[in-house]
Amino acid sequence: MQLAELQTVNAERAARRAVLVVTDIKGGAQRVVKAADVAADPLKEVLQKRLRLGKSGMEETPEGEVFVTVHVPSAKLVITGAVHISQALAPMAKMLGYDVAVVDPRTAFASPERFPDVKVIAEWPDVALPPLGVDRYTAFVALTHDPKIDDPALKHALERDCFYIGALGSRKTHAKRVDRLKQNGFDEAAIGRIHAPIGLDIDAVSPPEIAVAILGEITATLRRRDGA
Amino acid sequence: MDTMLARDEDILKAAEDWRKAGRGVALATVVETWGSAPRPTGSNLVIDEEGNFLGSVSGGCVEGAVVTEAMDVIDSGKPRLLEFGVADETAWNVGLSCGGRIRVYVEKVD
């Protein structure tokens, strides 16, 4: 691979845009295709399919047997609630490769002492979220139990089409949340995208166990997606 | 950067940074897998001319062989397609104890 092409790949990823590399593994010919340029590429159908699946692989094409590498942006995790569960969830998610941000306007919770090495933003979601670039490669988790904080953040996550959206709270709490979101104009399909109660059903009790349940569910959503 | 748990983009960024620093660099990519393979298609290993490496193409079973081949690729500039199958323990050859098969494409970064 030419250094210039590698730089293009890295720059696209840093800008959180998907990029593909098409390699003729017999002849060595290679080209980089930015997501925005896929529609104009001779192999557009193959590349669109690969981009949709987010999976690299060999393809039989009119250009011969090529290997298509798909680079999608790294996943982000945005959490509202600098709570006990988040203290376990944030470092675990970092270990899984997520860029993590914790948002909580309550400064007693959102302190660097409670979250060493994690981006903690002690602001309301309407201030904190827009600069974070929440997108379809982002998982969003609402953990405050406080509708004043969680609701605006959930709306933001739904509007930005996060690949995973989860909200802590009992079925009863969630039923009230659903009512509020409906009043705000969100339809059943949108609201149905929210995982609540949050996390895989593994009878988790402690905050770190709940964090495992949440990360298990996020991982399943990320890896099983088909067409997302 | 945590070299124990390098993410995919860390590996490609390392490839860029190492090359810019003047080191000979090769990139290995898993292009096909059959059966039970430890790392999925698209997984990367970056290697420099001194045999330093970051990332993985298997569970540690064939990285040694890939690094050796990669140093030849850095010398010659010619890409190679490597195939690894099941390890034959009695013959001490390099292979995958998990029973899978993988193909690895090794190319120079220049």
The tokens for A185 are 């104009």
Among B12, B20, B110, select the one facing A9 at the smallest CB separation.
Answer: B12
Residue A125, number of CB atoms within 10 A of its CB: 26
Enumerate the residues of chain A whose CB falls inside 8 A of the CB of residue B8: 71, 74
In this structure, of A28-42, A101-115, B96-110, the range with the lowest mean pLDDT score is B96-110
- Output the pLDDT for position B4: 43
Beta bridge partners, B84, equal B102
Q: How does B3-26 read in b/e, with b if 16+ C-beta sit within 10 Å?
A: eeebbbbbbbbbbbebbeeebbbb
Domains held by chain A: number: 2
Q: Which residue range is the domain that position A170 belongs to?
A: 76-224
pLDDT for residue B89 = 53
pLDDT at B13 over 60: yes
Instruction: Say yes or no: B39 contacts chain A, CB-CB below 8 A.
Output: no
Q: In terms of CA atoms, which chain B residue is nearest residue A74?
A: B9
In angstroms, the separation between the Cα of residue A64 and the nearest Cα of chain B is 15
Taking the C-alpha atoms of A172, A177, A182 and A183 in order, what is their torsion angle to the nearest 10 degrees?
110
Residue A80 sits in a domain of what CATH number? 3.40.50.720
User: Could you say which of A41, A71, A101 is where a domain stops?
Assistant: A71
Name the residue among A14, A23, A57 with its Cβ closest to that of B105: A23
Last residue of a domain, which of A30, A50, A71? A71
* Top mean-pLDDT range of A128-137, A217-226, B33-42, B84-93: A128-137
Q: What is the pLDDT of residues A186-205, one digit of tens each?
A: 999 999 999 999 999 999 99
> pLDDT exceeding 90 applies to what percent of chain A?
86
CB contact under 8 A, B27 and A1: yes
A97 and A196, same domain (yes or no)? yes
- Answer yes or no: do A10 and A38 share one domain: yes
Cα separation, B1 vs A220, whole angstroms = 26
User: CB–CB of A3 and B16 under 8 A?
Assistant: yes
Interchain CB contact of B27 with A (< 8 Å): yes
Question: Same domain for A119 and A55?
Answer: no
What are the start-end ranges of the H helices in A65-169?
A: 84-95, 125-128, 147-159
pLDDT of residue A181: 96
Give the pLDDT score at A228: 37
Sequence-ordered list of residues with C-beta below 8 angstroms from that of B89, at least 6 positions apart, any chain: B97
- CB contact at 8 A, B39 and B58: yes
Query: Looking at beta carbons, which residues of chain A come within 8 Å of B15?
Result: 6
Residue from the list B31, B40, B108 with its beta carbon closest to the beta carbon of A25: B31
Q: What is the pLDDT of residues A92-147, one digit of tens each?
A: 999 998 999 999 999 999 999 999 999 999 999 999 999 999 998 899 999 999 99
ipTM here = 0.82
Residue numbers in B near A70 (CB within 8 A): 42
Contact B42 A3 (CB under 8 A): no
Q: Are residues A35 and A131 in the same domain?
A: no
pLDDT digits (tens, 9 = 90+) for B28-43: 999 999 887 788 899 9
What pLDDT shows up at residue B31?
95
Rounded to the nearest 10°, the torsion over CA A136, A150, A111, A161 is 0
Phi–psi pair at A109, nearest 5 degrees: -90, -45
The reply to whether A120 and A188 lie within a common domain is yes
> Which chain B residues are within 8 Å of A2, Cβ to Cβ?
109-110
Distance (Å) from the alpha carbon of A154 to chain B's nearest alpha carbon = 28
